[in-house]
Amino acid sequence: MTRTVYPVNVPEAALGRNSVELRQVVKVHGQGPTAVRVLDGVSWGFPRRTFTAVMGPSGSGKSTLLQCAAGLDRPTSGSVSIDGTELTTLDETALTRLRRDRLGFIFQSYNLVPTLTVAQNVTLPMEFASRPIPAGAVRNVLARLGLEQHTHTRPAALSGGQQQRVAIARALLGDPAVIFADEPTGALDSRAAAEVLGLLRGAVDSGGRTIVMVTHDPVAAAVADAVVFFADGRVVDVLHRPSADAAAARMARLADGFAERGGVR
């Protein structure tokens, strides 16, 4: 394991070789004396075909970082690009199209429609986008995730781990370049979480995806190629080839310091 410390950001010269890039990104919530600077001039890049975990104390800005990186929220200033496409200059229609066509999303709450079957949930985003679904694509992705016996099953009849597999299948069906995951194992037991993490790892190693995952779990973070630690709206540290123990120890130190400072300024 190697450890690199960046007091604020990765150097600008290191940017330009990544799937997702943020340059001097600022996000402010509110106005006037009650304004909160959630992202404080973040410059960071997530390399292509890698799995990066983002960790930080509650309120540190890590979920806002993911939302801005994924085009789900617009920064107050700065720029965000995905595979060379600048997101901050796109109108809402173009931004929606980019998210739909080039990105995948996995959330802790699964976001499945309870009245639809597994297959219908998986194909729903592509149907909304009027995108053709290749023959056999749904069957293949469900088989890869061990869901071939549940094609016509509704979510309520599935376990939490199986529902998260459906969410992963939905994200993979559109062949996204980047998958953003927000606490994807937060609602799962340890066995189901390990299965889901293995599937995400395989999406990088075998599928060539780029994954950016926000997590509070050092065991989940240990599956990643690197862990980026976030505090006070900035990147403060990164571990390459992390171990769960090292991630947990760094998080504990960050949480203690973060609590003493009273959170994001």
Say which residue the tokens 């292509």 belong to. Answer: 48
Nearest partner of 149 among 132, 166, 125, 168, judged by Cα:
166
At 44-64, the pLDDT tens digits run 999 999 999 999 998 899 999
At 129-185, the pLDDT tens digits run 888 888 889 999 999 888 999 999 999 999 999 999 999 999 988 888 899 999 999
pLDDT of residue 133: 87
In whole numbers, what is the pLDDT of the chain averaged over residues? Answer: 88
Cα separation values, 180 from 27, 51, 99, 105, 107, Å = 19, 10, 11, 5, 8
pLDDT of residue 3: 41
pLDDT of residue 105: 93
Q: Is a pLDDT exceeding 70 seen at residue 12? A: no
Q: Is a pLDDT exceeding 70 seen at residue 5? A: no
Whole-number Å distance between alpha carbons of 65 and 75: 9
pLDDT of residue 145: 87
pLDDT of residue 233: 92
Backbone angles phi, psi at 224, to 5 degrees: -75, 165
pLDDT of residue 17: 74
pLDDT of residue 8: 43
Cα separation values, 70 from 46, 102, 109, 255, Å = 12, 10, 18, 25
Q: Is a pLDDT exceeding 90 seen at residue 77? A: yes
Say which residue the tokens 């997530």 belong to. Answer: 46
Domains in the chain, ordered, with CATH?
Answer: 2-261 (3.40.50.300)
Query: What number is the average pLDDT over the span 203-226?
Result: 94
pLDDT of residue 255: 82
- The torsion defined by the Cα of 67, 70, 74 and 77, in degrees rounded to 10, comes to 100
Q: Is a pLDDT exceeding 70 seen at residue 9? A: no
pLDDT of residue 262: 66
pLDDT of residue 256: 80
Strands 36-47 and 85-86: unpaired
Query: What number is the average pLDDT over the span 95-101?
Result: 90
Whole-number Å distance between alpha carbons of 101 and 171: 11
Nearest partner of 145 among 113, 172, 108, 109, judged by Cα:
172
At 185-210, the pLDDT tens digits run 988 889 888 998 999 999 999 989 99
